[in-house]
Amino acid sequence: MRRPRGAAEREEKASVAVASNEAFSGWTKTFTDPRLCAAIVDRLTFDATIIETGTDSYRLAHTRNHSNKQ
Protein backbone atom coordinates (compact mmCIF):
# COMPACT_ATOMS: atom_id res chain seq x y z
CA MET A 1 0.00 0.00 0.00
CA ARG A 2 1.39 3.40 -0.94
CA ARG A 3 1.02 6.47 1.21
CA PRO A 4 -0.46 9.62 -0.29
CA ARG A 5 2.24 11.81 -1.81
CA GLY A 6 1.44 14.77 0.47
CA ALA A 7 1.93 12.73 3.63
CA ALA A 8 5.32 11.43 2.52
CA GLU A 9 6.49 14.90 1.55
CA ARG A 10 5.42 16.37 4.88
CA GLU A 11 7.24 13.65 6.79
CA GLU A 12 10.42 14.34 4.86
CA LYS A 13 10.33 18.14 5.16
CA ALA A 14 8.63 18.95 8.46
CA SER A 15 8.74 18.03 12.09
CA VAL A 16 6.05 17.80 14.71
CA ALA A 17 6.82 18.22 18.40
CA VAL A 18 4.46 16.96 21.08
CA ALA A 19 5.11 17.57 24.77
CA SER A 20 3.30 15.83 27.59
CA ASN A 21 3.70 15.53 31.35
CA GLU A 22 1.92 12.18 31.16
CA ALA A 23 3.44 8.85 30.20
CA PHE A 24 1.85 7.16 27.19
CA SER A 25 0.20 4.70 29.58
CA GLY A 26 -1.68 7.61 31.17
CA TRP A 27 -3.00 9.05 27.93
CA THR A 28 -6.17 6.99 28.40
CA LYS A 29 -7.23 9.66 30.91
CA THR A 30 -7.51 12.11 28.02
CA PHE A 31 -8.34 9.75 25.15
CA THR A 32 -10.77 7.48 26.95
CA ASP A 33 -11.40 5.11 24.05
CA PRO A 34 -8.54 2.55 24.28
CA ARG A 35 -8.46 1.94 20.52
CA LEU A 36 -8.35 5.66 19.75
CA CYS A 37 -5.61 6.17 22.32
CA ALA A 38 -3.55 3.31 20.88
CA ALA A 39 -3.98 4.70 17.35
CA ILE A 40 -2.86 8.18 18.40
CA VAL A 41 0.22 6.88 20.21
CA ASP A 42 1.01 4.59 17.28
CA ARG A 43 0.88 7.41 14.75
CA LEU A 44 2.86 9.83 16.91
CA THR A 45 5.62 7.36 17.69
CA PHE A 46 6.01 5.77 14.25
CA ASP A 47 9.55 6.51 13.03
CA ALA A 48 9.87 9.12 15.78
CA THR A 49 12.54 10.20 18.19
CA ILE A 50 11.25 10.25 21.75
CA ILE A 51 13.16 12.45 24.17
CA GLU A 52 12.52 11.96 27.86
CA THR A 53 14.02 14.79 29.86
CA GLY A 54 13.23 13.40 33.30
CA THR A 55 12.72 16.93 34.58
CA ASP A 56 9.78 18.48 36.37
CA SER A 57 7.58 20.83 34.39
CA TYR A 58 7.70 24.45 35.57
CA ARG A 59 4.30 25.13 34.02
CA LEU A 60 2.67 22.14 35.71
CA ALA A 61 4.15 23.08 39.11
CA HIS A 62 3.03 26.69 38.66
CA THR A 63 -0.51 25.64 37.72
CA ARG A 64 -0.77 23.25 40.68
CA ASN A 65 0.58 25.88 43.07
CA HIS A 66 -1.85 28.49 41.72
CA SER A 67 -4.79 26.04 41.99
CA ASN A 68 -3.93 25.15 45.58
CA LYS A 69 -3.99 28.83 46.62
CA GLN A 70 -7.54 29.36 45.36
For residue 32, count CB atoms less than 10 angstroms from its CB and return exposed for 0-12, middle for 13-18, buried for 19 or more. exposed
pLDDT over threshold 90, residue 67:
no
Per residue in 14-50, pLDDT (tens digit) is: 778 888 888 888 999 999 999 999 999 999 898 888 8
pTM of the predicted structure, to 2 decimals: 0.55
Higher-confidence position of 58 and 48:
48
